Structure 1
Amino acid sequence: MDRLVRILAAPVLLAQALRLRRTALILPEPKGARTGRIGAGPPLRLLILGDSSGAGVGVDHQDDALLGHLTRALATDYCLEWQLLAHTGATSPHALKMLDQAGPIDVAVIALGVNDVTRLTSASKWLAVQNTLFQRLRDQHGARLICVTPIPPMGEFPLLPNPLRWVLGRHAARLQTARHALFAQYPEYCPLSFDLTMDPTLMAQDGFHPGAQAYRIWGETTAQAIRAARPFILP
């Protein structure tokens, strides 16, 4: 049904997308190091790979982004060597290119999908690139655990007008369901699950990116998942 809506409402959707691009508040990526080492305990090599949310857009410094909350939480259990490969506008194909900069890792955290959704990437193309990404993380970089952040519920984003919001929300749900079904076959797959309502207090000032509180919840939830998988990720 949403495919038919996209065809019939194409002029309206295009006009809404162009207006949003002109008027949306553009927030910078936060300051702070993108590689480092912290903590004490067994060694653990961590990679965060993603788009603007992975990069921490919505806060001023990496200390308040996913990276900061996650590395602090894990530093009590591990000697953590970490790397952040993420930038605004990154799609899944961009992430494949960014992986060229990564070395050996034990745990990967993926934050991708929003930009694939806004480009209305087909499910078949999405799955092909996501599968290649997963296999490269596992086979070339040695990841024993791959934590995958769900695509946000874009149908609830307050910034997006309808019918654009409805179309993107439906497409996001479709890609999310397809990826979960594909990755479920891999023992390294760790789907992250947390319930973040579109409460304005959890959002950045642009109404699109997470705020500091949302990043804290995301980071702590991911740390819990990594701790639970400890027997599988340590040699």
Structure 2
Amino acid sequence: MRLLYFFGSIIIVPFLPFLYFQGKRVRASTPRLPEAEGNKGMVKLEGDQEFRVIFLGESSIAGVGVNHHEEGFAGVFAKELAEKTKATIHWEVYAKSGYTLKKIRESIVPVIPDNKVDLIVIGLGANDAFTLNNPWSWQKQSEYLVTDLRSKFEDVPIVFANMPPIKDFPAFPFLIRVFIGNLVDILGNELLTTASKFNGVHYNDKKIRLRDWRTRMNLNAEDFFSDGVHPSKLTYGLWASELSSFAWEKLRD
């Protein structure tokens, strides 16, 4: 995959001016939506068992595209996990629109309280791809992120979410979807390397295919996006439901 990145880097050079101007056009035409409100919550069930989950990441984890985190990825994930674990789920979001993996390490991880945590869910990749982070740097940074989290929370299970389906984003022109989408795929492959180096660290490498959701639900592509880039309430629900099932499988292993 790194060889693919090398050849892709060579091929992309003649297209850089086009990508630059297309990127400016996309930024100008895409509405700037706020992050979701309510970065913590609880799914209360009867019984004494409790489970704490924290979410780290970029704009999709920050809930851009919905009004409240209850409707976003974290809220739906917590509800689905509560049903599976039969436990009261306490959840909290530590995410920021525009942040890369490195920025999460530097600015967010240090401020997370050292309370007991039972699961950490991480959603990253789009911003690192758009800033053209190379695969070996990304992979090493992801190892550092795991190490930083484990130094605070010992052997807490960590789940990396699927990489974003850049190739399906309707707001992006063809060249961006191809070049950045391929880089996202390469970065995702590097997360498998990171996950293989740690016990209890998992990456869901199943690619999100909007065409599968569209066929199953008989909807248009636009229904899955709030602004052509970020997920809609529908997409957050589908994505969170699938990843909660993946996480539950790994927690039971």
**Structure 1 partner of 2:34:** 28
- The equivalent position to 2:43 in structure 1, one of 28, 38, 44, is 38
- 1:197 lines up with 2:207 in the alignment: no
- 1:53 lines up with 2:60 in the alignment: yes
Query: Contact 1:106/1:142 (CA < 8 Å) preserved in 2?
Result: no
- The equivalent position to 2:164 in structure 1, one of 152, 161, 166, is 152
Q: Secondary structure at the match of 1:63?
A: coil
Q: Secondary structure at the match of 1:62?
A: coil
- 1:107-141 superposed Cα distances (whole Å, 9 cap, x missing partner): 00000110000000111221121111111222322
CA distance in 2, matches of 1:231, 1:169: 33
Q: State the Cα distance separating 1:70 from its structure 2 match.
A: 1.3
**Structure 1 partner of 2:244:** 223
Identity of aligned residues (%): 23
Instruction: List gaps (5 residues or longer) in structure 2.
Output: 1-6, 215-220
CA distance in 1, matches of 2:9, 2:207: 29
Q: State how many pairs are aligned.
A: 231
CA distance in 1, matches of 2:202, 2:223: 24
Q: State the Cα distance separating 1:231 from its structure 2 match.
A: 4.5
Matches within 5 A, 1:67-106: 67-76=74-83, 77-96=86-105, 97-102=107-112, 103=114, 104-106=116-118
- The equivalent position to 1:182 in structure 2, one of 172, 184, 194, is 194
CA distance in 2, matches of 1:110, 1:202: 24
CA distance in 1, matches of 2:149, 2:222: 35
Q: Secondary structure at the match of 1:64?
A: coil
RMSD, aligned α-carbons: 2.0
Q: Secondary structure at the match of 2:229?
A: coil
Q: State the Cα distance separating 1:17 from its structure 2 match.
A: 1.1
CA distance in 2, matches of 1:20, 1:8: 20
Q: Give runs of ≥4 in structure 1 deviating > 6 Å.
A: none
CA distance in 2, matches of 1:79, 1:215: 21
**Structure 2 partner of 1:121:** 133
Identify if the C-alpha distance between structure 1 residues 9 and 229 changes in structure 2 by more than 3 Å, giving closer, same or farther.
closer
- TM-score, normalising length: structure 2: 0.83
The AA in structure 2 aligned to 1:189 is: V
- 1:172-208 superposed Cα distances (whole Å, 9 cap, x missing partner): 1111111212222322122234644165254223111
CA distance in 2, matches of 1:230, 1:114: 26
